[in-house]
A and B are shown apart, each in its own frame.
Chain A
Amino acid sequence: MSGGWTVAFALLTLVTLSLCVCVLALARYVASLATRLPEPLPLELTQGPEVGSYLADQLLPESVQARVSERVSPTARTLIVFLSTSCSSCYRLATELNRFARDARDTSVIVAVAGDEERGRRFENAIDHRSSVLLDVDGRMTRSFGISTVPFAIFYEDGLLKAKGVANTRAMLENLAGGFTRKGGDELLAAFTGGSS
């Protein structure tokens, strides 16, 4: 083994070890930042039914009313989640919904999927029997609830709307079911969409 190779190898080892230390330090830094992040809360928007309103008072088309009321018990906790087949994060949330429904057994979960029928069927198949899936091919149900941003969830307890908002993750859904939301979502949404929505 020539001396040049030994020096090169020793240098390479030193560089590699230094990089390992840097990666560990960065991981520690990111981990400590992550522990300081606040709980992810759903973003409350003005769209959708008013908080404090009753599901029974919601002016829904007859066909939608029938589909919803047959799945909602007036004395139960009910979470209605609006998804769309054209929304990227809705696919991830659909899988999270199964875990949410499994853990929150006292809550009925209804999932309204807007968009084309073929992709809607994928959601219907992927979401298990604990949740009810309504294919909203023409988007009528989503529109009749006054919702234009997805994924959006509204939470009813004893027929009264307790909380609503944009929820992208299971943690957000759990917070929504606990009545926790982040206010002032409309300004954030306007900033996000450049004021187009």
Chain B
Amino acid sequence: MLSSESVLTSFVNGITVAADLTLGRCSDTRTRSAANGLSDGRLSVCGESGVLGVSLAAHAAQVVLIVVFAVAGGAKIVFASRFRETLYLSGLLPARLVPTVRWLVPIVEVSVAILLAVAPRQTFGPGLAAIALTSFSVAAWRVRRTSASVPCACFGSSESRFDVGVIARNAILLCYAILVALRARDAPGVLDDAGRPLLLLLTVALLTALPALAKSAASSWDAAGELADDAVVRHSRALARG
């Protein structure tokens, strides 16, 4: 178990090394010599801690992707009718394909989660995740262009709709998938790295919050355009008078 001091030190080292790498202060040799920094626990100003930071981020991103894809796939199976409605209303597919695709998409999502969990050293899992995320973003963009307020049903809920927020969230998750793919060869197992559960947990929490916040911010930005519409302002003023 890590003490709070070592957690603090790790984060500060991460920042320091990020700055060093950005400013070109770390030599290639030192950076390369620091492979497997995640498991050996040595923290120097440059080198090992940089690799540690990247490995930790990749490991956390992998966990986030597993959870996101498992939850999204599971929710689409549990709330199958909502996903069916979305597929029909969005008009993304010919109606005859909907009965197949409504089950195919959640199966693919759950498969991605399983692949990421059981074969962390293969690029196939993150690659498939990246393809899925790109497809979802293209679909969201196409639906948004029609101006129809179609519920997204991304996680089973019909509360959120296809908007820029979905695209922003997927873009961040896509970055995670790329990071995981690039680090796949050195990736630890999902339950490895037992020596650093707190640090991993904190990073997972941060990486989970990031796409969620980006989605909220982008959706609010999108909705703000509607709220700033003159007609809506007049309507709100009339409501206040009424």
Binding site for B on A (CB under 8 A): 1-2, 5-6, 8-9, 88-89, 91-92, 94-96, 98, 118-119, 121-123, 125-126, 128, 184, 187-188, 191-194
Contact = CB atoms under 8 A, between A and B. Distances in A.
B183 interface: no
Q: How large, as a class, is the contact surface on chain B?
A: 35 or more
Given A192-B231, A192-B234, A119 B239 contact: no
Contact of A194 (B9, B86, B90, B234): B234
24 contacts: A1-B12, A1-B16, A1-B45, A9-B15, A88-B147, A88-B148, A91-B89, A91-B148, A91-B151, A94-B89, A95-B85, A95-B151, A98-B81, A118-B91, A121-B95, A122-B88, A126-B88, A128-B81, A188-B242, A191-B234, A191-B235, A192-B231, A192-B238, A193-B231
A130 to B, nearest CB: 11
A5 B90 CA distance: 51
B89 A188 contact: no
- SS of A interface (majority): helix
B13 interface: yes
Contacts of B149: 88-89, 91-92
B196 interface: no
Nearest to B143: A91
Interface string B139-150: 000000001111
Nearest to B237: A191
